[in-house]
Structure 1
């Protein structure tokens, strides 16, 4: 029984571990792990990646760039993309770039097995294969497990925004940090880049987890967002439009997080936190509400447009213990 060289490429330790657990027990593979596209390409060039299970959103070199490099270098790797970016255009693009299949995160073992079987990559079922892999016992941190949960959530939200606006949404690698109020101040300053902003705030609570979602729009880009939304009526104000867009994006993110960790969030009504206000004013008005917080920073960009909006998910310090408990099964 010949052993197939397999590369599992994802910047998340948890995601790689989930993929390794899902590999069919009777599939004889030699596994190489890569934390970004650059490492994956190095492994493939060395002959270690006959089959590649590839994430899309990664630092240094993303999955799209890997697929492009494979094509330009004429390397014969059989690629299955496994990603939280579930935009229809993302799926179409990776298949056009040469990927054989696309699996949406989170996936289960039967989906992976069925895909491998359909592609003719599985040998006939037999005895459990002796898998050649050295690092499958890597511990998953809370930070990594939570960031991967966020990754899936922002991908779901991007897919909805892409449909609403008719554009391709460029997904970032989310930043996840526990911040003191002063550090949060700096993070918001970075997001604002001292431009005038309008921010929508929406509280959420459920199962001992609470926080606020903050969606920041740059005022100079609001007219362009209105064009994308094909606003027909003069009665449909900028604020109504931003509130509608916020409801879609924040709601999709929170719903996906809740589904993944098996909780139900009650969401407050979205509120205008500051209109045409500099970031400093937002901080001064709200610093008492943000002390130490688990902060998620996400900056969505719209391809072909000079538009981006920044989403901050701020979880209370008391929520961290409950989130850790909820994510424990993923970290084991």
Structure 2
């Protein structure tokens, strides 16, 4: 029996590793891997993608563009999307582009097997001991890769909630994960500001010894437009009240998704206006003593059809790094 040529296309080494380990036992399959959509398309054109497990949020060429190229070029791959972007509109769009199914991350091996069986893609198990062949072996997973993937899933949950509240499609980024000294964080945020005035909302969080600050940062020029989108349930909705509500929604949803992945219960403080209408330089000056060395996660959301962009930053304390590493070890091994 010839092996099914399976392509796992995801920019996260951890996600690829989890999918490969979750494949049905005994399935005669030859596995190839791609770290972005461009590599994935090259592999498919070379005949290494009878079945494709495809992520959506990737650099260079994303999953939507891969599906569009498959349709345009008439490539016969059968695609199952496996993504952290769980918006209803994302599911509708990929199915419209030809994906056979959508599985939310992290992919449940039982659901993956049921989906393959339902789509008649799972051939009978082979009796040969080397029926499952992994081309190139399992990828090595670094702490930053594992943590970025965990954040990606949490970010997608928050994006889906925001999409339901606002009735819009939220364009999700690839989250940035970096370790900064206070001065380096200062410079990174100054680069992001580009001279504009900002309003920031700050919420502290703690759980299982892991602690930090969440910052929701808006350019002042976009605050009123966001308030208009969220005014559907109230005649008078002050802009700062809107920002406080939005912070609770997004920070709470992200922390909930993160807590589920690393098995920690987080509590969060009430949101506070931090340096209202202040420059980022003033925000850093007022809070430099709290941030010191930090693990910084940056998520830059934008709303399709609206000129609205905002950043959600999670700044984890230096003391949290070792605990986070231990929590993620079981995902990296």
Q: Which bracket does the TM-score occupy, shorter chain normalised?
A: over 0.9
Q: CA deviation at 1:173?
A: 0.4
Q: How does 1:44-63 map to 2 (within 5 A)?
A: 44-63=44-63
Question: Is the 1:197–1:279 contact (alpha carbons within 8 Å) kept by the matching residues of 2?
Answer: yes
State how far apart, in whole Å, the 2-side matches of 1:267 and 1:233 are. 26
State how far apart, in whole Å, the 2-side matches of 1:191 and 1:140 are. 29
Other-structure match for 2:75? 75
Q: CA deviation at 1:232?
A: 6.0
1:234-293 deviation per Cα after TM superposition (whole angstroms, max 9, x unaligned): 642111111111110010001110111001111111111121111111111111111100
Q: How does 1:131-280 map to 2 (within 5 A)?
A: 131-231=132-232, 233=234, 235-280=236-281
State how far apart, in whole Å, the 1-side matches of 2:252 and 2:233 are. 24
Q: CA deviation at 1:171?
A: 0.5
State how far apart, in whole Å, the 2-side matches of 1:250 and 1:100 are. 33
Question: Is the 2:83–2:104 contact (alpha carbons within 8 Å) kept by the matching residues of 1?
Answer: yes
State how far apart, in whole Å, the 1-side matches of 2:67 and 2:281 are. 42
Relative to structure 1, the CA distance from residue 258 to residue 317 in structure 2 (aligned partners, 3 Å threshold; closer, same or farther) is: same
Match of 1:53, SS state, is: strand
Question: Is the 1:17–1:136 contact (alpha carbons within 8 Å) kept by the matching residues of 2?
Answer: no
How many residues align? The count is: 332
Other-structure match for 2:103? 103
2:120 equivalent to 1:120:
yes
Other-structure match for 2:5? 5
Of stretches 279-288 and 183-192 in structure 1, the one that deviates more from structure 2 is 183-192
Q: CA deviation at 1:139?
A: 2.1
Relative to structure 1, the CA distance from residue 262 to residue 232 in structure 2 (aligned partners, 3 Å threshold; closer, same or farther) is: closer
Q: CA deviation at 1:192?
A: 2.1
Q: CA deviation at 1:191?
A: 2.7
Match of 1:202, SS state, is: strand
Q: CA deviation at 1:304?
A: 1.0
Relative to structure 1, the CA distance from residue 318 to residue 240 in structure 2 (aligned partners, 3 Å threshold; closer, same or farther) is: same
State how far apart, in whole Å, the 2-side matches of 1:199 and 1:100 are. 42
Other-structure match for 2:330? 329
Match of 1:297, SS state, is: strand
State how far apart, in whole Å, the 1-side matches of 2:303 and 2:23 are. 35
State how far apart, in whole Å, the 1-side matches of 2:264 and 2:234 are. 39
Match of 2:289, SS state, is: coil
Match of 2:276, SS state, is: strand
Match of 1:132, SS state, is: strand
1:203-237 deviation per Cα after TM superposition (whole angstroms, max 9, x unaligned): 00111100000000111111211221135656421
State how far apart, in whole Å, the 2-side matches of 1:302 and 1:164 are. 12
Q: Which runs of 5+ in 2 are unaligned?
A: none
Question: Is the 2:231–2:237 contact (alpha carbons within 8 Å) kept by the matching residues of 1?
Answer: no
Question: Is the 2:215–2:312 contact (alpha carbons within 8 Å) kept by the matching residues of 1?
Answer: yes
2:17 equivalent to 1:21:
no
State how far apart, in whole Å, the 2-side matches of 1:71 and 1:33 are. 21
State how far apart, in whole Å, the 2-side matches of 1:230 and 1:293 are. 36
Relative to structure 1, the CA distance from residue 83 to residue 233 in structure 2 (aligned partners, 3 Å threshold; closer, same or farther) is: closer
Question: Is the 2:181–2:292 contact (alpha carbons within 8 Å) kept by the matching residues of 1?
Answer: yes
Relative to structure 1, the CA distance from residue 201 to residue 49 in structure 2 (aligned partners, 3 Å threshold; closer, same or farther) is: same
State how far apart, in whole Å, the 1-side matches of 2:124 and 2:32 are. 23
TM-score normalised by structure 2 residue count: 0.97
State how far apart, in whole Å, the 2-side matches of 1:220 and 1:129 are. 60
